[in-house]
A = this chain, B = another copy of it.
């Protein structure tokens, strides 16, 4: 099957609702579905929009359809990476399923070919793969690798981090364990501040937030050492997702890695949510930090199989050999089976041949530009941050205090749903509107979503008597939409139309130039060589 490489629209926009077909895929009416779900599915498993959940019965590209054939624009499903139900991926799956699906104790070419292709996207030293079934399995294995390699136990994690649902990962996910009582933090876990330059400890007006945040990690390790503890790993998402779409200042990872390695630990980059070209200019989000940065372990998940349960851990030969030295076999029943690998290969094909990375860059920049226009207009928007199709809208009640506008963010989400747009809110205060759509998301989709957000925010502001003409003076007063350039920035330019300058403090170690631009739209976000 050929992929059409001439277009970024990986799926035709099929607006017709095909009623017979859609009805045929419904087994129960919606009320019965809800009733059965209440009876037979664990109540901890939540649905979106709990009071009036959505029943989706088919999807194509960036569109999902409910049981009535009504179309929703999908701005949230980062798992359906190359587009829902992509026929090329389905075809690859079918062909392999018809032939063979077995475990990796038998030799199979799909496994080694996929490993070869995945490692080719990474720095050379990251050459050894372990295939697993979920991001949770990947992160758990990463911890095992780190502990076996270093002989140490302790893990440094970021505040608000989420790394998965198995026991070992709840332990290192403050996003989760802080919901329990304080005693839920285990002694081997050390929580460092999120490198959030908008709402964090060191902000955009700090001369060097990358160094400041990294120094905190160093201090934490020194304190741990004083208590007789030893560091196995620092783990962080390359961009923090559930924690609120946080983009760490460039240079931060290099400095942290330096401190962690000096302390005998390794650096784990969790790319489960943000890898596979989502950030546009790079295939991996950690590459935003600069070419001089290489993690010791990278974990992959969600988008890797376009919805198929597939994940991977990639590490160095040295760490893999340490892991083997225990003598303990690592066997994962489904991990790396020929079907999973065929699907993984197909996803790589589509990303490449349809230039979805280019699309993420182009459409992402356009989306950020549109959202920045909204920020000029709506005081409820405190910050727009993003790279590629990973974008956050930080909603605030007050731009000076940056008070999270949680209720307003939830209102936006619910109103968007009424307009058939699926968006979600996350972060510790659940006030960050979170864009992470399928990678075939178009400029028209971006415009449609943002126009609707504009309408909803206008209505909220009118209802609460916040006049939009206050915005300019607010913005001028509190500087919320201006981030001071750090001393490491030796070049920076303002986006036009007063676009928010998301120029992070990129330390001396960071020599990477990231200039987003495309023909038809203005640059909204620049990261500049130091």
Contact = CB atoms under 8 A, between A and B. Distances in A.
A299 B348 CA distance: 34
B105 A309 contact: no
Nearest to A33: B107
Nearest to A179: B328
Nearest to A103: B79
A93 B340 CA distance: 13
Interface string A53-71: 1111111000010000000
Interface stretch (A111-119, A248-256, A281-289, A507-515): A111-119
Contact of A44 (B42, B168, B301, B324): B324
A143 interface: yes
A323 interface: yes
Contact of A25 (B42, B97, B99, B143): B99
Contacts of A144: 167, 170
Interface residues of A, number: 103
A111 B333 contact: no
A1 interface: no
Contacts of A58: 99-100
B98 A176 contact: no
Query: Chain copies in the assembly?
Result: 2
B165 A113 contact: no
A101 to B, nearest CB: 4
Contacts of A211: none
Contacts of A326: 179-180
A45 B104 CA distance: 8
A36 interface: yes
A167 B165 contact: no
Given A37-B115, A42-B315, A46-B331, 7 more contacts: A30-B107, A48-B106, A101-B307, A134-B332, A135-B333, A307-B337, A307-B339
Interface of A: 25-28, 30, 33-34, 36-37, 39-48, 53-59, 64, 77, 79-80, 84-85, 87, 90, 93-94, 97-113, 115-116, 119, 127-130, 132-137, 140-141, 143-144, 165-168, 170, 176, 179-180, 301-302, 306-310, 315, 320-321, 323-324, 326-334, 336-337, 339-340
22 contacts: A33-B108, A34-B107, A36-B116, A37-B111, A40-B112, A41-B115, A43-B320, A44-B324, A46-B329, A54-B106, A56-B102, A59-B102, A77-B102, A77-B103, A79-B333, A84-B101, A85-B101, A93-B93, A137-B137, A137-B165, A143-B167, A302-B333
